[in-house]
Structure 1
Amino acid sequence: MIDEDVPAFWGRLGLPGLADVHTHFLPPRMERRVWHHFDAAGPLIGRAWPIRYRSDLPERVETMGRLGVRMFSALAYAHKPDMAADLNRWTLDFAAATPGCLASATFFPEPGAPGYTRDALSRGAQIFKLHLQVGGFDPGDPLLDDVWGLLAETGTPIVVHAGSGPVAAGFTGPGPIGDVLRRHPQLSIIVAHMGAPEYEQFFGLALLYDRVRLDTTMAFTDFFEEMAPFPPGLRPPLRDLGLAGKVLLGSDFPTIPYAYAHQLESLARLDLGDDWLRAVLWDNACDLFGMTPRG
């Protein structure tokens, strides 16, 4: 499948488009730094990672439109103090000016985190992002207790890169975020990349907690299967979780080393059925974010 085939793909399923909860639109200066890190195959990347959609911001938004991605995110993430509030201003302004973009925000363990998280929610933040591998912090840091409590109370989803792929760091794996969930079981966590490579343990969290979900970002693609192959024995629970609203489409656009269509092709070749594809590609995100469902 190539990108030009994507509208026909979701059209055949009777969908009005795609809902992708894991995409990145960043302030230009930060984006250049992120891309440089990928170009250099930096220590948290671990391998060559050519960026497929390296274009200016308006063109990338246009690409989303051509693909039929009707709902997407602008996931930024702070990796040190005094970043998150400024990132939130940018991503929230971007979402306000960009049809289809979820109002996105982030936070970091620092004294001001509860305040700017409340500010982001007051501006309509619909989704947050944490990257425990890049950020290198413990999600159980006491400075985040009030933030987790607030997000649990509001039910606001947080996409968390908690798995140890592509390179493990001090607070990746199911343990640290699992400890947070034990204290705040009502948190709405979306585990990025299906939790790779600790798929089984993160599936366990999704089965244990009502509001824990998984996103498909890069999972099942040829590129990712080389690094962290998905266990065949998890396909039955993958199907069940998807039909139960707990698996969401994610792609990591634009920072992917293959065509966007390959993510969709990789999901289709799992052969879990059209109902599963419709749920994962559209319905589950619409239910989560209260958007207009199809038909």
Structure 2
Amino acid sequence: MSLAAEPPLADADVPAWWQRLGLPGLVDVHVHFLPPRVQEKVWAQFDEAGPLIGREWPIRYRGSEQERIAQLRALGVRRFSALSYAHRPGMAEFLNDWAADFADRVPECLRSGTFFPEDGVEDYVGRRVEAGVEVFKVHVQVGAIDLRDPLLDATWGLLAEVGTPVVIHAGSGPVATPFTGPGPLREVLARHPRLCAVVAHAGAPEYAEFVRLALDHERCFVDTAMVFTDFFSEGGAFPPDLLAELGDRPDVVLLGSDFPTLPYPYAHQLEALERLGLGDDWLRAVCWDNGVRLFGEPSPAGHA
């Protein structure tokens, strides 16, 4: 019988939920904090159900930066990312500068970065790694990025060597583009098998192909951001046979939420994981242990 017998139905229930699991909190690898003007533009795309969104998407958490940080702290999220994503040349380093300052101000935040296929990308990614970036983000869909672009090959090699994880939105959801889907990442991993790739949204909707990549590569993971929620299931349920495989391999799954760009309470992601019925050990691995194994134990100052 599960110790966490009652899934959290509201955000106020979340701390009691992870406490019943015996956890010190949550590690969320898929959280977004962006420069204010960029954040407003991103939210505008969701408000307009733009061409890369494809459906109504009412955003629940759109308070000030400080209000959103306070919300994560109240939920008990002990470590979280601030994933930005460059969608054109010349943008990445502006975002990286902002993210570095944000991490200095918010001790729970992983030092986050992004990059784009452009001249000099290996150099600035190398400098960011030396400066302590703990996780990068690449958004294939929004940036119209081909992961196999020759401009990125040396960067993938560098990141495979140093082991810094990269959260990659490579799946074709919510709207497919010419570069989404499992093929490009499969080719990158064949060339750089030690790359630590975290597939955002478990690769939705190509779940089977992306989960197979995670199962077959030692340092490949999937994150849960929006997966299993009622909102995402409307676009296609997660295959039951695949769920059984993930149940046997909790080590490849990382908690992600996509906060703050959520059309439902944060608690619903955790409720959705609880109702899978995969057990407390699975939940503990996904919501804490795997994130700590990848990024280190949170320290009182926030950074491990």
Q: What's the TM-score, normalizing by structure 1?
A: 0.97
Amino acid at match of 2:288: W
Q: CA deviation at 1:292?
A: 4.9
Q: Distance in 2 between matches of 1:291 and 1:187?
A: 22
Partner of 1:69: 77
Aligned length: 291
**Maintained 8 Å contact 2:78/2:108:** yes
| 1:29 and 2:37 aligned | yes
| 1:99 and 2:120 aligned | no
Deviating 4+ runs (over 3 angstroms): none
Amino acid at match of 1:217: A
**Maintained 8 Å contact 1:22/1:252:** yes
Q: Distance in 2 between matches of 1:265 and 1:194?
A: 17
Secondary structure at 2:138's aligned position in 1? strand
Q: Distance in 2 between matches of 1:199 and 1:193?
A: 9
Q: Distance in 2 between matches of 1:228 and 1:131?
A: 21
Q: Distance in 2 between matches of 1:86 and 1:114?
A: 16
Partner of 1:253: 259
Amino acid at match of 1:284: N
> Identity of aligned pairs, percent?
61
1:42-81 matches, cutoff 5 A:
42-81=50-89
1:257-276 matches, cutoff 5 A:
257-276=263-282
1:229-248 matches, cutoff 5 A:
229-242=237-250, 245-248=251-254
Aligned counterpart in structure 2 of residue 217 of structure 1, from 225, 229, 239: 225
Q: Distance in 2 between matches of 1:228 and 1:114?
A: 37
Q: CA deviation at 1:241?
A: 2.1
Q: Distance in 1 between matches of 2:283 and 2:146?
A: 34
Partner of 2:6: none
Secondary structure at 1:160's aligned position in 2? strand
Partner of 1:202: 210
Secondary structure at 2:108's aligned position in 1? coil
Amino acid at match of 1:11: Q
Can you give the 5+ residue segments of structure 2 that lack an aligned partner in the other structure?
A: 1-8, 300-304
Aligned counterpart in structure 1 of residue 147 of structure 2, from 136, 139, 148: 139
1:2-57: CA deviation from partner (whole Å, max 9, x where unpaired): 00000000000000100000000000010000000000000010000000001010
Q: Distance in 2 between matches of 1:197 and 1:261?
A: 22
Q: Distance in 2 between matches of 1:45 and 1:170?
A: 16
Cα distance change, pair 97–52 in 1 and its aligned pair in 2 (3 A): same
**Maintained 8 Å contact 2:215/2:252:** no
Partner of 2:292: 286
**Maintained 8 Å contact 1:7/1:68:** yes
Q: Distance in 1 between matches of 2:177 and 2:187?
A: 17
Q: What's the TM-score, normalizing by structure 2?
A: 0.94
* RMSD of Structure 2 on Structure 1 (CA): 0.9
Q: CA deviation at 1:290?
A: 2.0
1:168-196: CA deviation from partner (whole Å, max 9, x where unpaired): 01111000111111110100000000111
Q: Distance in 1 between matches of 2:189 and 2:50?
A: 31
Q: Distance in 1 between matches of 2:202 and 2:223?
A: 5
